[in-house]
Structure 1
Amino acid sequence: MQYRFITILFTIVLFSCQSQEKELPFYNTPDFTPIFLNNEKDIDRKITHEINDFSFLDQHNQQITQKDIEGKIHVANFIFTSCGSICPVMTNHMKIIDQEFSDDQEVAILSYSVTPWIDNVEVLQEYTEKQQIQSKNWHFLTGDKSEIYQLARQSYFAEEDLGFTKDSTDFLHTEHVILVDADKRIRGIYNGTIKLDMRQLAKDIEALKAEKKKNIFG
Structure 2
Amino acid sequence: MKYQFTIRYTIVLAAILFLCACKEQRKLPVYGLRDTKTVKNSDGTRSVDTVYQTIPAFKLLNQDSTYITNDNFKGKIYVADFFFTSCTSICPIMHRNMKNIFDKFRDNPEVMFLSHTIDFKYDTPSVLKKYAQKLGVDGPKWQFAYGLKDTVYGLATKSYLVSVEQDGTDKQGYVHQGYLVLIDKDRRIRGAYDGTNADQVAQLEKDIPVLLEEKQ
- Write the letter of the residue equivalent to 1:204: D
SS in 2 for 1:201: helix
Out of 177, 191, 196, which is 1:193 matched to?
196
User: Aligned-pair distance for 1:48?
Assistant: 2.8
Deviations 1:99-140 (A, max 9, x none): 111221211110000103211111111111112224531111
Task: Tell me the equivalent position of 1:138.
Answer: 142
Task: Tell me the equivalent position of 1:90.
Answer: 94
Q: Over aligned residues, Cα RMSD in angstroms?
A: 3.1
Alpha-carbon separation, structure 2, partners of 1:210 and 1:198: 19
- Write the letter of the residue equivalent to 2:177: T
Task: Tell me the equivalent position of 1:27.
Answer: 31
- The 5 A counterparts of 1:35-184 are 45-159=49-163, 171=174, 173-184=176-187
User: Aligned-pair distance for 1:10?
Assistant: 8.7
User: Aligned-pair distance for 1:95?
Assistant: 1.1
User: Aligned-pair distance for 1:24?
Assistant: 1.0
Q: Per chain length, whose mean CA-contact separation is higher, i.e. which structure has more relative contact order (CA < 8 Å, sep 6+)? A: 1
Higher gyration radius (CA): 2
- Write the letter of the residue equivalent to 2:129: Q
Q: Verify the 8 A CA contact 2:29 2:190 in the aligned structure 1.
A: yes
Q: 5+ residue gaps in structure 2?
A: 1-5, 35-40, 42-47
Relative to structure 1, is the Cα distance of residues 9 and 62 closer, same or farther in structure 2, using a 3 angstrom cutoff?
A: farther
Task: Tell me the equivalent position of 1:205.
Answer: 208
TM-score (ref. length: structure 1): 0.77
TM-score (ref. length: structure 2): 0.78
Deviations 1:72-121 (A, max 9, x none): 11111001000010000000010121011122121111000010321111
Relative to structure 1, is the Cα distance of residues 18 and 59 closer, same or farther in structure 2, using a 3 angstrom cutoff?
A: farther
Identity rate of aligned residues, in percent? 36
Count of residue correspondences: 194
Alpha-carbon separation, structure 1, partners of 2:12 and 2:64: 52
Please list every run of at least 4 consecutive aligned residues from structure 1 whose deviation after the TM superposition is greater than 4 angstroms: 8-15, 166-172
Q: 1 or 2, which has the higher helix percentage?
A: 1
SS in 2 for 1:26: coil
SS in 1 for 2:176: coil
Q: 1 or 2, which has the higher strand percentage?
A: 2
Task: Name the stretch that deviates more: 169-178 or 110-119.
Answer: 169-178
SS in 2 for 1:112: strand
- Write the letter of the residue equivalent to 1:75: V
Q: 5+ residue gaps in structure 1?
A: 34-40
Q: Verify the 8 A CA contact 1:55 1:63 in the aligned structure 2.
A: yes
